[in-house]
Amino acid sequence: MIKSIKIKNIEDIEKVNRIVCKYPFDVWIHGKSGMADAKSILGMFILKLDEPLTMVVPDDAATDKLFKELEDYLHYN
């Protein structure tokens, strides 16, 4: 499953990382500068925050609670 996500600053990186680390499935953030494991705070620092980002989670993952916790960052088109 793919969702657009907006991460504006270091504090957002820390909050998103803290949230996704609670879940047992993989969460990836993709941007033009590369892709990062959202559970790796250091990995997320490779992302350029001024470009469009997408969050990728497995299609079979139970994501309702995750998306609720991340609602301030997710953009629904």
> How far from each other are the two terminal CA atoms of the chain, in whole angstroms?
14
What is the tens place of the pLDDT at every residue in 20-71?
Answer: 999 999 999 999 989 999 999 999 999 999 999 999 999 999 999 999 999 9
What is the tens place of the pLDDT at every residue in 8-18?
Answer: 999 999 999 99
CA distances from 10 to 17, 60, 63 (A): 11, 30, 24
pLDDT computed for residue 76 by the predictor? 62
Rounded to whole angstroms, how far apart are CA atoms 33 and 63?
26
Classify residue 13 by its DSSP letter: H
Domain ranges of the chain: 2-75
pLDDT computed for residue 75 by the predictor? 80
Rounded to whole angstroms, how far apart are CA atoms 60 and 1?
8
Tokens of 38: 């959202």
Class of domain 2-75: alpha beta
pLDDT computed for residue 13 by the predictor? 96
